[in-house]
């Protein structure tokens, strides 16, 4: 199976890429910090202070993809042979994807699934992309590893590259998934095929529990479940955005987090939070909403803890309008609210 093949190459490809110097690895340490009933991981990576940041290519509105942009696109061929892991083709749509190791790696084996043909990072996930991402997570689990996937959609989502890419990160310290997954699991839901919201969080979030036997579904059924779940969550995210009168003009921005058990969509209002303590900018992408923040100094780490992660995430996300969306219906569970 091609997905297993990709996963089985990760360890050796990562080590070889690092040795070659084409992959830069930045060591880090993790501090746990509980806030709003979530045990967040704050990753301190001092080496990032000196990293030459690759130029951002994501813009809104999206200009035409011409030769000049192609030359500046790190995800266009020719691929660096040391970062290249392989390719996948969706059987239904014949769409092709390239798998590359993240060149600037803070977590070993962080890899990207990139559309082979140029597509913008401002576009919603397609059914084929969801199926391929889920199949990679499943292949990882079958080979005894755990990954989750995330997608930063739009300029204010924390994305830096304009060429469409979904990212995959191993779950290092826990069998349970990224920190937010613990909350999603705890949520008591009455209607399993409906989205719900984790109401103890400070920001608007839309979540869907995938069927427990999804790994046994055939390709058509798998695609239907994932596509319908995503469309429902996207509808809700857009509805949340529409309630925000100050929402910036341009394409809507949101983060997507996919595990084998849940799909999360978090609408975004802005990319960066200005830390009260230091005045510095803290960029937040899907990882922040998965419960994993990245800081570059002890000072920044202390500033994040002092200000509270809930406040930071609320600032870069949107206010929940879940109560309006459920139209006053009281389906509230202790941690979750149905729609
Ligand atoms: P995002 O910032 O969410 O758009 O994700 C883009 C990711 O691609 C970042 O994690 C970068 O570290 C990574 N990246 C940037 N340039 C390259 C490259 N040339 N090859 C592989 N990964 C890259």
Distance 113 CA to ligand 1 centre (A): 11
Does 120 sit in the ligand 1 pocket, CB within 6 Å?
no
Taking the CA of residue 158 as reference, the ligand 1 atom at the shortest distance is 3
The per-residue pLDDT for 333 is 42
What's the helix, strand, coil split of the chain in %, to 5? 30, 25, 40
Contact 51, 129 (CB under 8 A): no
CA–centroid distance for 133 within its chain: 11
Q: Which tokens in the block code for residue 335?
A: 């941690």
The per-residue pLDDT for 59 is 84
The per-residue pLDDT for 339 is 61
Does 81 sit in the ligand 1 pocket, CB within 6 Å?
no
The answer to whether the bond into 61 is cis (omega within 30° of 0) is yes
Q: Please state the φ and ψ torsions of residue 36, each to the nearest 5 degrees.
A: 50, 40
Contact 143, 3 (CB under 8 A): no
The per-residue pLDDT for 332 is 37
Q: Which of 110, 163, 165, 206 is catalytic?
A: 165
The per-residue pLDDT for 137 is 97
Strand ranges in the chain using DSSP code E only, listed in sequence order: 24-25, 29-35, 38-44, 84-89, 96-101, 104-105, 111-115, 147-153, 165-170, 196-198, 206-209, 253-258, 262-268, 272-274, 281-283, 292-295, 336-338
Distance 14 CA to ligand 1 centre (A): 15
Does 28 sit in the ligand 1 pocket, CB within 6 Å?
no
Q: What is the pTM of this model?
A: 0.95
Does 73 sit in the ligand 1 pocket, CB within 6 Å?
no
Does 74 sit in the ligand 1 pocket, CB within 6 Å?
yes
In the chain, count of helices (H) and strands (E)?
9, 17
The per-residue pLDDT for 65 is 85
Residue whose token pair is 């499943």: 138
**From CA 142, how far away is CA 16, in angstroms rounded?**
24
**Probe residue for ligand 1, chosen from 82, 101, 102, 115 as the CB with the greatest number of ligand atoms within 8 Å:** 102
Any catalytic annotation for residue 215? no
The answer to whether the bond into 78 is cis (omega within 30° of 0) is yes
**Probe residue for ligand 1, chosen from 101, 160, 169, 268 as the CB with the greatest number of ligand atoms within 8 Å:** 160
3-state DSSP assignment of residue 61: coil
Distance 102 CA to ligand 1 centre (A): 6
**From CA 85, how far away is CA 297, in angstroms rounded?**
32
Does 83 sit in the ligand 1 pocket, CB within 6 Å?
yes
The per-residue pLDDT for 93 is 94
Nearest CA to ligand 1 atom 10: 102
pLDDT in tens, the chain (339 residues): 699 999 999 999 999 999 999 999 999 999 999 999 999 999 999 999 887 777 788 888 888 888 878 888 999 999 999 999 999 999 999 999 999 999 999 999 999 999 999 999 999 999 999 999 999 999 999 999 999 999 999 999 999 999 999 999 999 766 678 999 999 999 999 888 999 999 999 999 999 999 999 999 999 999 999 999 999 999 999 999 999 999 998 889 999 999 999 999 999 999 999 999 999 999 999 999 999 999 999 999 999 999 999 999 999 999 999 989 986 443 434 445 666
């Amino acid at each position: 199976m091609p997905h297993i093949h990709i996963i089985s190459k990760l360890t050796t490809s990562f080590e070889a890429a690092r040795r070659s110097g084409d992959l830069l690895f930045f060591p880090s340490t993790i501090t746990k910090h509980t806030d709003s009933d979530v045990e967040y991981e704050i990753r301190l990576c001092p080496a990032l202070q000196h990293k030459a940041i690759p130029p951002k290519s994501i813009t809104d509105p999206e200009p035409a993809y011409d030769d000049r942009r192609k030359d500046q696109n790190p995800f266009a061929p020719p691929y660096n042979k040391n970062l290249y892991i392989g390719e996948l083709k969706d059987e239904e749509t014949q769409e092709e994807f390239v798998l590359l190791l993240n060149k600037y790696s803070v977590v070993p084996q962080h890899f990207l699934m990139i559309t082979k043909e140029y597509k913008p990072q401002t576009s919603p996930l397609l059914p084929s992309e969801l199926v391929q991402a889920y199949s990679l997570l499943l292949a990882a689990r079958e080979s005894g590893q755990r990954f989750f996937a995330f997608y930063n959609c739009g300029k204010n989502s924390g994305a830096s590259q304009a060429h469409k890419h979904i990212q995959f990160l191993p779950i290092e310290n826990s069998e349970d998934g990224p920190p937010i997954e613990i909350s999603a699991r705890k949520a008591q839901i009455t209607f399993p095929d409906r989205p719900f919201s984790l109401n103890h969080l400070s920001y608007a979030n839309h979540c869907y529990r995938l069927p427990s036997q999804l790994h046994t579904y055939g390709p058509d059924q798998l695609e239907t479940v994932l596509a319908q779940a995503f469309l429902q969550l996207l509808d809700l995210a857009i509805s949340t955005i529409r309630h925000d009168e100050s929402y910036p003009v341009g394409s809507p921005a949101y983060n997507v987090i996919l595990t084998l058990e849940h799909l999360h969509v978090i609408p975004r209002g802005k990319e960066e939070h200005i830390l009260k303590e230091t005045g510095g900018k803290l960029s937040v992408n899907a990882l922040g909403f998965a419960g994993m923040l990245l800081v570059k100094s002890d000072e920044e780490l202390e500033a994040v803890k002092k200000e509270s992660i809930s406040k930071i995430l609320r600032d870069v996300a949107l206010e929940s309008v879940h109560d309006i969306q459920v139209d006053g219906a009281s389906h509230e569970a202790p941690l979750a609210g149905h729609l």
